[in-house]
Amino acid sequence: MATAIANSDVESILAGYRLPEKIPFGVELAPVMYRAEFHAGEWQAGSLVPFADVPVNPASTALQFGQQAFEGMKAYRSAGSNPFLFRPNMNWRRFARSAQRLRMPVVPPELFAEALSTVAVSLSEFIPGGRGQSLYLRPTLFGLDPHFAVKGSDHFLFLVIASPSDAYYADPIRIMIERDSCRAAKGGTGAEKVGGNYAASLLANENCNARGFDQSLWLDPTGRKNIEELSAMNFMAVIDGALHTPALSGSLLEGVTRDSLLALAGHLGIEAESRTMPVDDLLSDIDAGRCSEMFACGTGAIVAPIATIGEPDGREWSVPDVGLVSARLRDALLDIQEGKTDDSFGWVISASDQQALAAFINS
Ligand SMILES: *Cc1c(COP(=O)(O)O)cnc(C)c1O
């Protein structure tokens, strides 16, 4: 596979780029991106190119049938031009599953590594270095063939775009139990990271925003009883001092952050359990004073305390501790991601050595 060499266009664009003073989550788009195409049955050599619109046929399967998947991950600043990535093997595996679910070709580990490395290293001096800040990376894959035959594409585009970012939320959030609609079905695509899941959540989120909440809390699509997750984040609660999170159900997304916090909790001596969590039990646990904390977790949000959970009928429950356990977990996670402590789990890998990164991704 040809190595991407920054051409002079890219070099002059990077030389003229300045980070804005304010960097909210996912608003500032980096001036370069990685791009590779799949056609004639194979991946073609990719390269770093200026960030720009890409030509998409109006009849493409991406636009007409939602044949699209993505990942969300971060590169962290380190001394020098050697950014670090956090568990990119987990993101690659999930990206491969999402691609297969939507009948798209898997991006090979070597190509995924080359793309991440090229983008992160070229932007290394623009990775903000404050606590919780990073370069958010968005690998994206979609179908290009223009036709209305429902059979998918043979021609695909793979991009890695980037956004210098802060954490998603600055303050404790308010969530509303979604009692009407579902974001994913059993046997559907809820366990994959695909755009359609988000499209299915937007209206409910707008409704909950209009009632003064930040996010919808989704319940299981069959019984509408058990907590699944938030629209782009997994859900956790502290009950009787232990960490609880909904077990993987096939219709909720297996977050890298979720998995990492479960492991970190064990490491910190906090009991952790992944189980079926009926929402009504959670509300009783809050009433009884047993549930002391709730929080959302994800690559974008990191760990975001939840202050209040509400019903569409106006009832609300608040928890006493906004962030005792969650602050410990957030610090422990960020310390590893930002290279401030020993990485005893082996989760962090340099972005600059493409071969080592490809081997890590493949592991
Ligand atoms: C991405 C995402 C998450 C969080 O996953 P991480 O790997 O921790 O970033 C949770 N739920 C949904 C629906 C998501 O798309």
Pocket flag, ligand 1, residue 251 (CB < 6 Å): no
Task: List pLDDT tens digits, range 39-49.
Answer: 999 999 999 99
pLDDT, residue 165, reads 93
Residue 315 burial (10 A CB sphere; 0-12, 13-18, 19+): exposed
Regarding predicted confidence, which is higher, 147 or 37?
37
Residue 90 is which amino acid?
M
Measure 232 CA to ligand 1 centroid, in angstroms.
5
pLDDT, residue 3, reads 46
Tell how strand 68-70 and strand 32-39 pair up.
unpaired
Measure 255 CA to ligand 1 centroid, in angstroms.
5
State the CB neighbour count (10 A cutoff) for residue 31.
17
Q: Going by CATH, does the domain composed of 9-168+342-361 fall within 3.10.129.10?
A: no
| pLDDT above 70 (res 6) | no
Measure 254 CA to ligand 1 centroid, in angstroms.
7
Residue 335 corresponds to which tokens in the numbers above? 């310390």
Distance CA 147, CA 204 (A): 31
| pLDDT above 70 (res 315) | yes
Task: List pLDDT tens digits, range 275-286.
Answer: 999 999 999 999
pLDDT, residue 78, reads 81
Residue 342 burial (10 A CB sphere; 0-12, 13-18, 19+): exposed
Task: List pLDDT tens digits, range 218-277.
Answer: 999 999 999 999 999 999 999 999 999 999 999 999 999 999 999 999 999 999 999 999
For a ligand 1 pocket test, name from 138, 233, 236, 330 the mutation site with the most ligand atoms within 8 angstroms of its C-beta: 233
Whether the CB-CB separation of 191 and 100 falls below 8 Å is answered with no
pLDDT, residue 64, reads 95
Of ligand 1's listed atoms, the one at least distance from the Cα of 90 is 7
Pocket flag, ligand 1, residue 196 (CB < 6 Å): no
Pocket flag, ligand 1, residue 94 (CB < 6 Å): no
Pocket flag, ligand 1, residue 78 (CB < 6 Å): no
pLDDT band for position 97 (cuts 50, 70, 90): very high
Whether the CB-CB separation of 135 and 163 falls below 8 Å is answered with yes
Measure 40 CA to ligand 1 centroid, in angstroms.
32
Task: List pLDDT tens digits, range 100-138.
Answer: 999 999 999 999 999 999 999 999 999 998 999 999 999
Distance CA 172, CA 321 (A): 11
Domain ranges in the chain are 9-168+342-361, 173-322
| pLDDT above 90 (res 150) | no
Task: Look at the domain 173-322 and name its fold.
Answer: D-amino Acid Aminotransferase; Chain A, domain 2 (3.20.10)
pLDDT, residue 80, reads 66
pLDDT, residue 263, reads 98
pLDDT, residue 1, reads 41
Distance CA 293, CA 69 (A): 33
| pLDDT above 90 (res 81) | no
Measure 316 CA to ligand 1 centroid, in angstroms.
26
Task: List pLDDT tens digits, range 63-75.
Answer: 999 999 999 999 9
Task: List pLDDT tens digits, range 168-210.
Answer: 878 899 999 999 999 999 999 999 999 999 999 999 999 999 9
H or E segment and range at residue 265 = helix 256-267
